[in-house]
Amino acid sequence: MDIVNNVVEDQVLDRAYAALADPTRRRLLEALRHGDARITDLAAPLPMTFAGVSRHVGVLESAGLVRREVRGREHWLSLQPDGLALAQRWINEQTEFWAVRTDALAERLRRKKGGQ
């Protein structure tokens, strides 16, 4: 992969993980697992102003995790299923990388212990 693609991927990952770093945004995503919802309905149970919720929604949109659709006068949100694909791929790569190394270390320690 070339450096330009790496930079773009880094930016996408940074936005996704920054969006997920906030508990309010995670709550919004969890609520959307049940289906599309109006922003006003998502905001109602949260202990903040509508403007505050709207800012959180903007972060989620920028990260590609949700999509906003205007239906008449209402703004609806839906999850973007591919929004976490790159983040999930990165986690899977790291998991595989470290699993191989920890397995190799465990084997080496077993051999060393058996040799003493």
**What is the model's pTM?**
0.78
pLDDT of 115 above 80: no
Which of 87 and 33 is assigned the larger pLDDT?
33
Domain extent for 29: 3-114
Q: Of the ranges 1-10, 17-26, 75-84, 92-101, which is most confident?
A: 17-26
Tens of pLDDT, residues 5-54: 678 888 989 999 999 999 999 999 999 999 999 999 999 999 999 999 99
Our CA angle for 45, 65, 16, nearest 5°, is 105
pLDDT average, residue stretch 91-97: 90
pLDDT of residue 25: 98
pLDDT at 63: 96
E strand or H helix that includes residue 67: strand 66-71
Residue 45, SS3? coil
pLDDT of residue 1: 52
* Average pLDDT over all residues of the chain: 91
Q: For the chain, count helices (H), then strands (E).
A: 5, 3
Number of independent structural domains in the chain:
1
CA 100 to chain centre: 25
> CATH number, domain at 25?
1.10.10.10
